[in-house]
Amino acid sequence: MSPEQDLLEKWQLLPPDKQQQVLEFMEFLHLKTVDPLRLTRTAKSQLGERLRSLRAKIVASGEPLLNQEEIEKEINS
């Protein structure tokens, strides 16, 4: 059996969420190998999206956002 066939057979046995994780990991390896600079841009974009999403959830909850002084205090504690 070829490595491709082995991979495909094992992948097909996984639940959909695990299949998605495998695909994301393969994309990560591909980007890391083919274009490391693109990987950095992609990771930064994804982090920015996650941070914006978290901020929106905090604002929607009514919890006040921290100011610069409060952020520094949190970091140092």
Q: What is the pLDDT of residues 23-71, one digit of tens each?
A: 888 877 777 777 666 656 666 778 878 888 888 888 889 888 888 898 8
pLDDT band at 76 (very low <50, low <70, confident <90, very high): confident
Two tokens, residue 1: 């059996």
pTM listed for this prediction: 0.43
Query: For the chain, what are the domain ranges?
Result: 3-76
